[in-house]
């Protein structure tokens, strides 16, 4: 079981002080968090993409590159790359460049994105929402599969015996391929797609009961057995909101105001019912989607979820609304020094990315 964190570089005003970090400060904060995550033994750091004022990172590959350059072991990846509004050729070159200088530690998680602001920004038509992603993920994997490449599609100029460089690093168990995965919010078709394509899948679980994703994980693994060209082994990642403090009540008392401000924004935009402390505590309780608590209870819940999903990695968004850097660092430290050893002992494994 690998553990890590992911972030969008939240820059919303602190609910207590109303102070707001600049994008530059938040990106420097993110780089410090990745350094600490490596020091305390975590396996992965994910950096997301948004194009709106609440978040600092619109170019994840730029920040990922900086994070890789300051570390030696930890894997760093996108969470996610909105592939539907990107050029797969350019994305592939960016990530293979990072793959080369980092010794194969970069990961590309492709998704449609939970927001749609990049579609008008880059001239993509929302009516092509599904077709854009399908074509571009197929091209991305073909770029990874062979070189030179001849290809033709709807959404970018054709390629004729094009030499796409650099190529990925040769990795144990994977060969000369990028670490490419597909992100989904729980769509069965996406689970099947990731399996048939032979790539890892990542489930973003933002509510309900995470154990209910077990049928989707099983569907993915079954589809993976039919992949014509699998890239390594089947792999399931679970992405959740969470926060680790010294004990359960302290974690929930601290995290709730930051969570609530973010949910106010999302609820207003999408018409969701506004949550309250009662619903938050219920969802942060055993079996719920929020892993907010002390090290022992968070570790216990990870192990319990593993019993249902048999997932390979779990990552946590612990900085909603811009949790201050001091508390963010403490949460990462607890995750690495206290949660991870408990999970490893319970599962009889020693985690660590290869």
Burial of 233 (0-12, 13-18, 19+ CB in 10 A): exposed
108 three-state secondary structure: strand
**Confidence (pLDDT) at 354:** 44
**Confidence (pLDDT) at 350:** 54
**Confidence (pLDDT) at 175:** 95
Instruction: Please tell me the distance from the alpha carbon of residue 107 to that of residue 105, in angstroms, as a whole number.
Output: 7
151 three-state secondary structure: strand
Residues with Cβ within 8 Å of residue 319, at least 6 apart in sequence: 7, 10, 258, 328
Is the sign of the CA dihedral 274, 278, 279, 280 positive or negative?
Answer: positive
Instruction: Please tell me the distance from the alpha carbon of residue 187 to that of residue 316, in angstroms, as a whole number.
Output: 20
Instruction: Report, as an integer, the average pLDDT of 164-190.
Output: 96
Residue pointed to by tokens 């994105």: 113
Residue in 263, 272, 271 with CA at minimum distance from that of residue 321: 263
pLDDT at residue 20 above 50? yes
Extract the tokens encoding 159.
């390629």
Going from N- to C-terminal start, the domains of the chain cover 2-347
Instruction: Please tell me the distance from the alpha carbon of residue 33 to that of residue 328, in angstroms, as a whole number.
Output: 8
List, as one string, the DSSP characters of 292-327.
EE-HHHHHHHHHHHHHHH--SEEEEE--TT---HHH
Percent of the chain with pLDDT over 90: 94
Tell me the Cα Rg of the chain.
19
Model confidence over 341-353: pLDDT tens digits?
Answer: 999 999 987 544 5
Partnered with residue 82 across adjacent β-strands are 111
Model confidence over 324-339: pLDDT tens digits?
Answer: 999 999 999 999 999 9
Instruction: Please tell me the distance from the alpha carbon of residue 15 to that of residue 284, in angstroms, as a whole number.
Output: 20
Task: Classify domain 2-347 at the CATH topology level.
Answer: TIM Barrel (3.20.20)
Model confidence over 271-323: pLDDT tens digits?
Answer: 888 999 999 999 999 999 999 999 999 999 999 999 999 999 999 999 999 99
Extract the tokens encoding 134.
């399908």
- Mean pLDDT across the chain: 96
Model confidence over 237-284: pLDDT tens digits?
Answer: 999 999 999 999 999 999 999 999 999 999 998 888 899 999 999 999
**Confidence (pLDDT) at 115:** 86
Percent of the chain with pLDDT over 70: 99
């Amino acid at each position: 079981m690998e553990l890590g964190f992911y972030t969008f570089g939240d820059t919303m005003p602190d609910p207590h002080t109303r102070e707001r970090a600049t994008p530059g400060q938040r990106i420097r904060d993110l780089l410090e968090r990745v350094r600490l995550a490596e020091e305390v033994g975590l396996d992965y750091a994910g950096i997301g993409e948004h194009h709106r004022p609440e978040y600092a990172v619109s170019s994840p590959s730029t920040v990922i590159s900086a994070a890789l350059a300051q570390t030696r072991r930890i894997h760093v990846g996108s969470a996610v790359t909105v592939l539907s509004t990107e050029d797969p050729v350019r994305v592939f070159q960016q990530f293979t460049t990072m793959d080369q200088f980092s010794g194969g530690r970069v990961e590309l998680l492709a998704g449609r994105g939970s927001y749609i602001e990049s579609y008008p920004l880059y001239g993509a038509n929302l009516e092509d929402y599904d077709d854009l992603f399908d074509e571009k993920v197929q091209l991305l994997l073909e770029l990874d599969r062979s070189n030179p490449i001849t290809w033709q599609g709807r959404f970018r100029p054709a390629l004729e015996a094009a030499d796409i460089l650099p190529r990925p690093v040769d990795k144990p168990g994977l060969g000369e391929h990028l670490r490419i995965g597909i992100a989904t919010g729980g769509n069965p078709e996406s689970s099947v797609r990731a399996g048939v394509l032979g790539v890892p899948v990542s489930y973003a679980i933002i509510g309900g009961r995470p154990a209910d994703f077990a049928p989707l994980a099983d569907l993915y693994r079954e589809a993976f057995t039919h992949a014509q060209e699998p890239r390594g082994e089947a792999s399931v990642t679970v992405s959740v909101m969470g926060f680790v403090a010294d004990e359960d009540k302290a974690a929930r008392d601290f995290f709730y105001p930051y969570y609530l401000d973010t949910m106010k924004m999302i609820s207003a935009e999408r018409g969701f019912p506004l949550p309250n402390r009662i619903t938050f505590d219920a969802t942060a309780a055993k079996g719920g989607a929020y892993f907010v608590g002390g090290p022992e209870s968070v570790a216990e819940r990870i192990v319990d979820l593993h019993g249902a999903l048999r997932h390979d990695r779990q990552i946590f968004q612990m900085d909603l609304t811009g949790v201050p850097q001091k508390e963010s660092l403490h949460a990462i430290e607890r995750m690495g020094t206290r949660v991870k050893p408990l999970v490893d002992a319970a599962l009889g494994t020693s985690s660590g990315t290869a």
